[in-house]
Amino acid sequence: MMYDNFALDCFVILYLTFNRFESLAAKGYLLKKYRFQGVSGFSALGSPKQSQDRTKINSWFNRVFNTGGQILFKKISLTASAALLVSTSFVAAETLNWARAGDSLTMDPHAQNEGPTHTLAHQIYEPLLLRDNTGAVEAALATEWGPSADNPNIWEFKLREGVTYHDGAEFDSEDVVFSITRAMSEHSNMKELLSSVKEVRATGKYSVEIETNGPNPIMASNLTNLFMMDKGWAEANDAVAVQDIEGGEETFASRNTNGTGPYKLVSRAADSLTELEAFDGYWGKGEFPLEITKINYTPIKNPATRVAALLSGEVDFIQDVPVQDLARVDGDENLQVITAPQNRVIFFGLNQGDADLKTDDVEGKNPFADLRVRQAMNMAINREAIQKIVMRDQSIPAGVAMPPFVNGWTEALDTLPSSDLDAAKALMADAGYGDGFSVTLHCPNDRYINDEPICQAAVGMFAQIGITVNLDAKPKAQHFPQIANSETDFYMLGWGVPTFDSAYIFNFLVHTRSDERGSWNGTRYSNAEVDEMIVSLESETDLDVRDATVAKIWAQVQEDVLYLPIHHQVLNWGTSNKIDTVVSPEDQPKFKYFTLK
């Protein structure tokens, strides 16, 4: 029974109210009893049973404070913190306070193709197909899908019936045609993923088909971040066109939302606080846990502050826990760390195509052009030491520049090169660089987990085989353009593969740099034979032949030591130990799957 200590509770609350000196014992009593956490705006994660209790208390509070207690209330707010804590944050909802390093850039679901933007959008909008928290593709707004039996260039989708938007409008095939067309329009940032699409057609109220230029075996993967909007809502609010961020445009859809997703947007202050609450009319009620009913999302940029907010109980869930703080978080009795390999590999790229390097001290020659130098460097990297010390075991040393989730990955490819320093030195001597050389390594310092320390450690490792590496670490906004503009000879890059297919890697990292392909290939590597094989993947319908070609390309890439792989990143989420979830390999929590212990 909840009210067995009712008199005592009243006493404690009154005591707190009138006592300017916060009594820790009294506060502790309340906090413990009602499982409050934190200092301000505590979270109320608890069991459903507790939640009912809380509803009762809530109404009791309303009675006390809203009837005779108006003046009293004002006084409390100025004197006793604990009492106000009780009165304002006392909600029946299961609130989740969530923080990560960056904020969403826009609420327009098609204007940006970027992690934090998609993650927030996933709570509000839904795609046809979804990757669940384990990375598996599952039905969202489409219930059945697959290539047409008659025409390999057509994908057919059967849509979920009885789905409504947050404003009550009904979801149907018209919206799918509208949304995909919208995502292919000029200002959309999602259009690259749909470049093979020729047309989208509604074939019934709840069925659509997508016609592509040639067969597209990975269509399903391309649709998992492609959100569905209501056509009527967009038209009524003048939001048919995608927000043109470049042209400096702000549309209704960039600040307002109307999705079919489990949560609706309550309020949003960019870089500060975004509030979501559960959508009562969600189609998935009963199918998903949906135990969290309110979400407060705050970006916290400074890593130490983010961890502090978790440790102090002000937030219940942070996405980017610095690796050195994992032990502290995990050791806290109210917190836990959950971990999973991420779909991202970290590696170094070497300019092996140019005749001479800009940043080295070798005249008229490019040391990286010599295979033996690249092999020696590959052997000089002590991946286990990086894993142990820099990453605190939170990485998987890699032998290939491809995350293990990707089609084409094999254990053999991912075998680590031997880290044999003597053999490496011998190779260097063989290549005529026994006395070493110097070169500049470009590295981001705000993009990947411990990016700068990894580069720093690598500097020491390359020094062992005589290569003097000057480290130039800078923010991503300065680092990545150097790769794009071929201004770096030696750089760090990380690559995630949203399509889970090798072709995605080849198109961007291996193919000769051209207008359409190879835009992230900073190695100046150009192999006509490989290019041809890469292009052939696009239209190859026989999956066995396709896989064989993929394997062949990888064999060549490994033989040529195109990249020096370091490791696969591991994701760490720090949460209140009341949360039960697995980590999604795309670093996209979807809160409808979260359960509470």
Partner 1 sequence: MLSYIVKRALQSVLVLLAVGLVAFSMFRFVGDPVENMLGQERTNADIERLRESLGLNDPFLVQYWDFLVGAVQGDVGVSFRQGRPALELIMERAPATLELALVSAIFAMVLGIVLGIYTAINRKGPITNFILSTSLIGVSLPTFLIGILLIYIFAVELKWLPSFGRGETVDLGWWSTGLLTWSGIKSLILPSITLGLYQMTLIMRLVRSEMSEVLRQDYIRFARARGLSERAINFRHAVKNTLIPVITVAGLQIGSIIAFAIITETVFQWPGVGLLFIDSVQFVDIPVMASYLMLISVMFVGINFLVDMLYLAIDPRLRDGKGS
Partner 2 sequence: MDMLKRAIASDLFWSFKRSPVAVISALVAITLILAAVFAPLLAPYNPFDPASLNLMNGFSKPMEPNAFTGESFVLGTDDQGRDVLSTILYGMRISLFVGALAVLFAMVIGVVLGLVAAYAGGRTDAIIMRIADVQLTFPSILVAMLIFGIAKGFTPIHLRDQMAIWVLIISIGLSDWVQFARVVRGAALVEKSKEYVEAAILIGRGPVAIIFKHILPNVLSPVLVIATISLALAIISEATLSFLGVGAPPTQPSLGTLIRIGQGYLFSGEWWILFFPAVTLLLLALSVNLLGDWLRDALNPKLDD
* Cβ-contact 276, 266 below 8 angstroms: yes
| Residue from the set 111, 184, 467, 583 that interacts with partner 1 by CB under 8 A | 111
User: Which residue type does 219 have?
Assistant: M
Q: How far apart are CB 89 and partner 1 at their closest, in Å?
A: 9
C-alpha triplet 318, 321, 326: angle, nearest 5°: 120
Q: How far apart are CB 369 and partner 2 at their closest, in Å?
A: 18
Q: How far apart are CB 489 and partner 2 at their closest, in Å?
A: 9
Which of partner 2, partner 1, none does 579 bind, CB closer than 5 to 8 A by kind?
none
Of the pair 404, 436, the CB lying nearest partner 2 is at 436
Q: Rule CB under 8 A: say whether 69 interacts with partner 1.
A: no
Outline where DSSP puts E strands in 21-150: 95-100, 129-131, 137-139, 142-147
Q: How far apart are CB 513 and partner 1 at their closest, in Å?
A: 7
Structure tokens at 354: 């140019």
How far apart CA 194 and CA 224 sit, in angstroms, is: 12
How far apart CA 474 and CA 472 sit, in angstroms, is: 7
Q: How far apart are CB 475 and partner 1 at their closest, in Å?
A: 5
Where do we find the tokens 């000196």? 21
Q: Rule CB under 8 A: say whether 434 interacts with partner 2.
A: no
* Cβ-contact 137, 120 below 8 angstroms: no
Helix axes 70-79, 81-88, angle to 10 degrees: 120
Which of partner 1, partner 2, none does 243 bind, CB closer than 5 to 8 A by kind?
partner 1
| Residue from the set 192, 384, 420, 532 that interacts with partner 1 by CB under 8 A | 192
Of the pair 76, 323, the CB lying nearest partner 2 is at 323
Q: Per-residue string for binding with partner 1, 149-188, x by CB under 8 A?
A: ----------------------------------------
Of the pair 504, 573, the CB lying nearest partner 2 is at 573
* Cβ-contact 311, 575 below 8 angstroms: no
How far apart CA 26 and CA 554 sit, in angstroms, is: 66
How far apart CA 129 and CA 142 sit, in angstroms, is: 6
Of the pair 468, 519, the CB lying nearest partner 1 is at 519
Q: How far apart are CB 514 and partner 2 at their closest, in Å?
A: 25
Of the pair 314, 370, the CB lying nearest partner 1 is at 314
Between the alpha carbon of residue 139 and those of residues 66, 159, 205, 392, 535, the distances in Å are: 47, 9, 18, 37, 31
* Cβ-contact 95, 45 below 8 angstroms: yes
Of the pair 314, 360, the CB lying nearest partner 1 is at 314
| Residue from the set 8, 266, 269, 389 that interacts with partner 1 by CB under 8 A | 269
Select from 80-88, 132-140, 366-374, 420-428 the region that touches partner 1 (CB under 8 A).
80-88
User: Which residue type does 213 have?
Assistant: N
Which of partner 1, partner 2, none does 152 bind, CB closer than 5 to 8 A by kind?
none
How far apart CA 59 and CA 2 sit, in angstroms, is: 14
How far apart CA 364 and CA 8 sit, in angstroms, is: 86
Q: How far apart are CB 436 and partner 2 at their closest, in Å?
A: 10
Cβ contacts of 195 within 8 Å, gap of 6 or more:
none
Of the pair 261, 322, the CB lying nearest partner 2 is at 322
Q: How far apart are CB 389 and partner 2 at their closest, in Å?
A: 4
Q: Rule CB under 8 A: say whether 569 interacts with partner 1.
A: no
Q: Rule CB under 8 A: say whether 399 interacts with partner 1.
A: no
Q: How far apart are CB 138 and partner 1 at their closest, in Å?
A: 23
Select from 43-51, 209-217, 274-282, 476-484 the region that touches partner 1 (CB under 8 A).
476-484
How far apart CA 481 and CA 447 sit, in angstroms, is: 14
* Cβ-contact 222, 194 below 8 angstroms: yes
* Cβ-contact 184, 219 below 8 angstroms: no
Q: Rule CB under 8 A: say whether 312 interacts with partner 1.
A: yes
Give, for 476, the enclosing helix (H) or strand (E). Answer: helix 476-484
Pairing status of strand 395-397 against strand 137-139: unpaired
Pairing status of strand 467-474 against strand 437-444: parallel
CA dihedral 277, 117, 113, 489 (to 10 degrees): -160
Find the binding residues for partner 2 in span 334-393 (CB under 8 A).
358-360, 382, 385-386, 388-390
Q: Rule CB under 8 A: say whether 308 interacts with partner 2.
A: yes
Identify the DSSP state of 146: E
Which of partner 1, partner 2, none does 269 bind, CB closer than 5 to 8 A by kind?
partner 1
Structure tokens at 570: 């591991």
461 backbone dihedrals φ, ψ, rounded to 5°: -70, -40
| Residue from the set 36, 38, 397, 525 that interacts with partner 1 by CB under 8 A | 38
Residues facing 269 on adjacent strands: 273
Select from 64-72, 264-272, 335-343, 579-587 the region that touches partner 1 (CB under 8 A).
264-272
| Residue from the set 142, 210, 469, 492 that interacts with partner 2 by CB under 8 A | 469
Q: How far apart are CB 312 and partner 1 at their closest, in Å?
A: 5
| Residue from the set 267, 475, 552, 555 that interacts with partner 2 by CB under 8 A | 475
How far apart CA 395 and CA 567 sit, in angstroms, is: 6
How far apart CA 399 and CA 414 sit, in angstroms, is: 4
Which of partner 2, partner 1, none does 513 bind, CB closer than 5 to 8 A by kind?
partner 1
Residues facing 580 on adjacent strands: 595
Structure tokens at 3: 């009210």
Of the pair 472, 531, the CB lying nearest partner 2 is at 472
Q: Rule CB under 8 A: say whether 324 interacts with partner 1.
A: no
Which of partner 1, partner 2, none does 334 bind, CB closer than 5 to 8 A by kind?
none
Q: How far apart are CB 586 and partner 1 at their closest, in Å?
A: 13
* Cβ-contact 437, 462 below 8 angstroms: no
Where do we find the tokens 């961020």? 245
Which of partner 1, partner 2, none does 5 bind, CB closer than 5 to 8 A by kind?
none
Q: Rule CB under 8 A: say whether 314 interacts with partner 2.
A: no
- Contact footprint for partner 1 (CB under 8 A): 38-41, 77-78, 81, 84, 88, 105-106, 108, 111-114, 189, 192-193, 243-250, 254, 269-273, 298-302, 304-306, 308-309, 311-314, 446, 475-478, 480-481, 484, 496, 508, 513-517, 519-520
